[in-house]
Amino acid sequence: MRDVTITTPEHVPIRLEPAGAGSRFLAILIDALITTAMAIAAGVVLSILLPSGIAAALTITINFIITWGWHVYFETKHQGRTPGKRALKLRVIDARGLPVSLHQSLARNIVRVLDMAPAFYGIAAIATLVTSTRRRLGDVIADTLVIRDSQALAYKGQLAAERRHNSLRTPRVLRLIRHKISLEEREFLLTLCLRADRMSPASRYDLMQDVSAAYREKLGIEEDSLSGENFVRDLTAVLFNPRA
Amino acid sequence: MNIERFLAEREHVWAELDALLARADQVKLSRPETQQLVELYRRTCTDLNRARSYTANPEVLGRLNQLTGRAYRFIYRASHDTPVWASFVKLITREIPAAFRRERLAVLAAAGAFLAGALFGSLAILVDPANGERLIPADFFSESPRERVDKIERGEERIDDVEKAMVFGASLYTHNIKVSFLAFSLGAATILLGLLILFYNGVILGAVGTMYVLDDVSVFFFAWVGPHGALELPAIIFGGAAGLVVGRALLLPGDLTRGASLRRVLPSVWRMMIAAALTLVLAGLIEGSFSQFSAKTIPYPLKISVAALLFTGLMSFLFLRRTEEP
């Protein structure tokens, strides 16, 4: 799988991350549950209000319109997101990065009948695995993409957790860092700090303890007064801002 | 560079753009708001470029990519502000016929595959009537055509009120629309399979029709299948033809890229599909009611002339009227 890069007229390349088969399947499952529930509810209401034959005919028609119109309506009127896709933070877009058009939405949803075959979106699953940008047949035919709409940054202002004094900002530590911490590790530590607010407290604590223990050992720092998280945050602050 | 300071300084711009985009999802933005959105978009683009040279951090870049991507889709989208009703009338009266005339070769190819199938099925039965059992799904084979006709003509009318007609009609057209979607999808993905499914449908119709003719109940057959078949069969052929147009654009794009080639044909294609679906709704309603009446209620010549009228009406509406390109 590779990201899709589009270049805006301002010559800024924007990279979009195609969504995987798993999250897309969950999204379609949610949509299917909602549409089925709606169709059943409509059927029950109609059968109470109308004579049974007319109610049945209307129910069949409504069921058809809901299941096929649902995706087209939400993809075109709600910026490429059905409720299921919204729940899983996915979005359908034109492969050039523009919003999906009515024509494209119709095309990709008509081909759904083929993608569903033989069962549980089997063809779609294979297609998303073999195409480089994870498209199902409908996406190929309509030239659309389903991308991951990454969530907001959980960054709250300060890496060093609003601490007055950073005991790691010493010449010795700076020298150790320069020799022992690679570029990838630097990015890893930053990502860890930025994501910390989204973790559950228990796993956040465990992870921070493990990481701080690993770097204490690696750098040979016997600073025991700091908690795991504060050590990681102080270290990251020093890494990204050696001269403050 | 100090990533901490960069984030602290710029985050409010991104949050503002985020909020404005969320607002744009709900309501139409005012002019000053739109201008502000464009400005925020430019600043965020610059931030994305700067951030990219400082860090490869997936959190920061992911956030900026997602934000600029959303703003880009908003700013460079095409506007759709035409009134719905006027565009619907225009779609039916002008754009759909124009699309069919533009893609008449695909319609001919699809119709050719279907007719070739019908001919094949018919010849197979003429050569050896036993071939019917090999060609036609078994549930059509409960009785001989003659017996079936006798049963229907002697017995009660199957459809004796509006309710039954509507239920039956609705289940028929939803099924048929799915069949045309399938013909479309197979044609779009492979061309050949699309032609093959049309051929196969032709084989069944040709074989069944010939069996009725051999049993000397041909008038019944045409009166029974004609009124809805006159619309239903063309509609399924249209679905297949639209699939062929897509398949050609996708598999043989010529000088264009596949994406560009597809985008060029999509407007015609979805118009053909809408025409096919609407025709199938009409055909399903006819099939659920009018087609089911035997000679006791409606004389067969009347049913056959209605069929002929519907067919010529549909064809002349789509292919003969003089309309300018939309």
Task: State pLDDT tens for residues B181-232.
Answer: 888 888 888 888 988 888 988 888 888 888 878 877 777 778 777 878 888 8
**Pick the residue with more confidence: A145 or B223?**
A145
Between A13-27, A65-79, B29-43, B291-305, the lowest mean confidence (pLDDT) is in B291-305
- Return the pLDDT at A43: 87
**Residue from A7, A10, A12 whose CB has the most chain B CBs within 10 Å, to mutate:** A12
Domain boundary among A100, A116, A148: A148
- Structural domains counted in chain A: 2
For residues A109 and A27, state if they share a domain.
Answer: yes
In terms of DSSP bridges, do strands A13-16 and A90-94 run parallel, antiparallel, or are they unpaired?
unpaired
List, for residues B18-32, the tens digit of each pLDDT value: 999 889 878 888 899
What is the mean predicted confidence (pLDDT) over B65-82?
79
Q: In what helix (H) or strand (E) does residue A145 lie, and over which residues does it extend? A: strand A144-148
Structural domain includes residue A161:
no
For residues A181 and A110, state if they share a domain.
Answer: no
Structural domain includes residue A180:
yes
Contacting residues for B316 by C-beta, under 8 A, at least 6 apart: none
> Is B170's CB within 8 Å of A143's CB?
no
What is the mean predicted confidence (pLDDT) over B144-160?
63
Structural domain includes residue A154:
no
- Return the pLDDT at B33: 92
Does residue A163 carry a pLDDT above 60? Answer: no
Give the integer Cα–Cα distance in Å for A73 and A79.
10
- Return the pLDDT at B78: 66
List the domain boundaries for chain B: 3-75, 84-320
Q: Least CA distance to A110: which residue of chain B?
A: B181
Of B72, B267, B269, nearest to A97 by CB-CB distance is B72
For residues A101 and A8, state if they share a domain.
Answer: yes
Give the integer Cα–Cα distance in Å for B78 and B59.
31
Distances in whole angstroms, Cα of residue B14 to Cα of each of A97, B6, B57, B75: 19, 12, 17, 16
Task: Say which amino acid occupies B193.
Answer: L
Q: Least CA distance to B186: which residue of chain A?
A: A114
For residues A24 and A85, state if they share a domain.
Answer: yes
Structural domain includes residue A53:
yes
Domain residues for the domain of A210 are 171-240
> Is B164's CB within 8 Å of A53's CB?
yes
For residues A127 and A200, state if they share a domain.
Answer: no
- Return the pLDDT at B326: 47
Structural domain includes residue A157:
no
**Tokens for B11?**
């985050």
Structural domain includes residue A29:
yes
Structural domain includes residue A209:
yes
Q: What ipTM was estimated for this complex?
A: 0.71
Give the integer Cα–Cα distance in Å for A217 and A229.
16
Structural domain includes residue A115:
yes
